[in-house]
A and B are shown apart, each in its own frame.
Chain A
């Protein structure tokens, strides 16, 4: 396994290096760096959206959640895909038509407020830094389980390699690398299923064992109420997730964006089913692991044949790298484009902004390592927390803001701040006292955000018609 894994890793990183260098020669302006010159087509775009969506949270966290809790966790995918569909019909076409570079660009233009832009950029940096913690923690888990490597070393290697290709080629290199990563993830995960099934003695034998081990594994480990709450947090956050939305800007047209979302859902369906099967079959083969997050790496290293195991390890690595890369691109752009470029050096040259973006990426990549080493929770729990925050402060100003003309800057600021604080307070204080009512923090956050948006907008001055024209005017043919 060791030699096979080494060869597969060398080939993988060699290809990434090649794509990065090629992209660096094609990246000259900020539009090239943040939006790949708006040249991405539906297949690569769909794979990119899938790669961004499929993270450590999926290949380590979701797989581990299926290992522990069984089939019922799969229903959260319905929430995820509802979010994508909402994005495809209510968000993506308008955002792509607007053609900006970042989500705070949209916030500033739609509500005519630079304060709203600054707040959006700040919240993006905070919430996505939490997301990076989960990705880094997963990389540490995998490296420790497979190679016995110290988590800190694994995290440093991950940051250096991902930051390298992100810094070099921006979204262009990221897009082609993520296309490759999605193909690796699909292949590695799908091929693993029949092997595990053959070891486990077939479908009937596996189901019978799981049923006896814990009947909830094949039934309802989570109740519908919990699944709805998880589904809402994933769905609402995806409909308004800046690291996904930013990728729309790199695609050729509004039509390309819709096609890419359909392609992405197809990839996610295959990956989701494979992850469910692998989680359950790993439970059959190893019923008592100390940590569910180890399920994927143990299965790759101890169960699968060397080449398939190596491919799966690269798939896990790809999932983490692609998400880290997308998060770094969106947080780096928030610092360089939305804060530095707008408030500190408005007259900075394109080249200067690209340099600041690269430095920001490097700094933002290093900070979450400290928190990842503290291990605040399992990977999936950290991902769920982060999605709750994103949904609470971004869903209303983005999805409702794009479809309700009366929303104002003050309303958007109140919605973002109020939603964020309501989610934070409920999650860390109130929820314990009110858990019996089954009200989740994301629901409190989104409802607070919506109420504030409507009420504050109603009592404040409407946004000028000229600002709204691009979002609500007739489509140019």
Chain B
């Protein structure tokens, strides 16, 4: 296969995606609204399947869902356009079971670099979570409401752990600081040894 054929070529571009995740009810409800720069005939979205989790489209709120394939690792959702001028699509679904990671519907047509904007809003967050440890990185707007602004639609939102809980992010940052400190210490000790060798050499 020629190497150049690997480039993803897409005339249609996703311009905005507004995704709202509501954690306040008994089930987690996700409403995602996507807008493209040109009308589409049909679109495919991938939704990651997570263990111990159920995904259900909410009827009526979704623009013409025609099919869901259930594969080992994902659901594949196919939509057709309501009219020939349709540039937007809305998908609404609920997630039950383990909601530590909330899957998002990722359109197979991506955002244009530097132009597309993806906004994820989460309502009903505990005020005791460390937002920087989640994925994507969230910013708190009010006590129970946080947002993330991205260039691309992620596969899922990983809810942040509670403040003080063990976190890989924290461990990684501590490791970096420790490595830099150890490297600096090694360099200082080595430098001191070289200088003392030189001094003893001069005195002989």
Q: Which residues of B contact A213 (CB under 8 A)?
A: 46, 73-74
A284 to B101 CA separation, bound complex (whole angstroms): 13
**B152 near A191 (CB under 8 angstroms)?**
no
Residue of A nearest to B69 (CB): A212
Q: Which residues of B contact A302 (CB under 8 A)?
A: 136-137, 150-152
Among A285-325, those with CB < 8 Å from B are 285-292, 294, 298, 302-308, 311
A201 to B183 CA separation, bound complex (whole angstroms): 32
Return the CB mask of B174-196 against A: 1 if under 8 Å, else 0: 01110100010000000000000
**A287 near B172 (CB under 8 angstroms)?**
no
Q: Which residues of B contact A285 (CB under 8 A)?
A: 135, 154-155
Number of residue pairs across A and B with beta carbons under 8 Å? 129
Q: Does A381 contact B (CB under 8 A)?
A: yes
Q: Does A185 contact B (CB under 8 A)?
A: no
Given A194-B168, A209-B48, A286 contacting B152 (CB threshold 8 A) = yes
Q: Does A380 contact B (CB under 8 A)?
A: yes
Among B121-174, those with CB < 8 Å from A are 132-133, 135-137, 150-155, 158, 168-170, 172-173
A65, A192, A195: most-surrounded residue (chain B CB, <10 A): A195
Among B1-56, those with CB < 8 Å from A are 1-4, 6-8, 10, 13, 46, 48-51
A199 to B73 CA separation, bound complex (whole angstroms): 16
**A288 near B6 (CB under 8 angstroms)?**
no
**A288 near B110 (CB under 8 angstroms)?**
yes
Q: Does A148 contact B (CB under 8 A)?
A: yes
CB distance from B102 to the nearest CB of A (A): 12
Q: Which residues of B contact A192 (CB under 8 A)?
A: 172
Give the contacting residue for A290; candidates B50, B106, B112; CB below 8 A.
B112
Q: Does B85 contact A (CB under 8 A)?
A: no
**A199 near B176 (CB under 8 angstroms)?**
no
Given A209-B73, A212-B73, A69 contacting B6 (CB threshold 8 A) = yes
Give the contacting residue for A144; candidates B114, B132, B133, B153; CB below 8 A.
B114
A311 to B6 CA separation, bound complex (whole angstroms): 29
Given A213-B74, A288-B108, A298 contacting B152 (CB threshold 8 A) = yes
Q: Which residues of A contact B7 (CB under 8 A)?
A: 291-292, 378
Q: Which residues of A contact B137 (CB under 8 A)?
A: 302-303
Q: Does A460 contact B (CB under 8 A)?
A: no
**B176 near A284 (CB under 8 angstroms)?**
no
**B155 near A286 (CB under 8 angstroms)?**
yes
Residue of A nearest to B109 (CB): A288
CB distance from A283 to the nearest CB of B (A): 9
A285 to B158 CA separation, bound complex (whole angstroms): 10
Given A285-B135, A384-B3, A435-B2, A290 contacting B173 (CB threshold 8 A) = no
Q: Which residues of B contact A287 (CB under 8 A)?
A: 46, 106, 155
Give the contacting residue for A195; candidates B13, B48, B172; CB below 8 A.
B172
**B155 near A308 (CB under 8 angstroms)?**
no
A194 to B167 CA separation, bound complex (whole angstroms): 11
CB distance from A223 to the nearest CB of B (A): 8
CB distance from B47 to the nearest CB of A (A): 10
Which A residues form the contact surface with B (CB < 8 A)?
65, 68-69, 144-145, 148, 183, 187, 191-192, 194-195, 198-199, 201, 205, 208-213, 222, 226, 284-292, 294, 298, 302-308, 311, 377-378, 380-381, 384, 435
Given A222-B1, A290-B10, 4 new contacts (CB under 8 A)? A187-B176, A209-B74, A287-B106, A292-B7
Can you list 24 A-B pairs, Cβ within 8 angstroms, ordered by A?
A148-B114, A191-B172, A195-B168, A199-B135, A205-B51, A210-B73, A211-B73, A287-B106, A288-B8, A288-B108, A289-B8, A290-B13, A290-B110, A290-B112, A290-B152, A292-B6, A292-B7, A302-B137, A303-B137, A307-B172, A307-B177, A377-B3, A378-B3, A378-B7
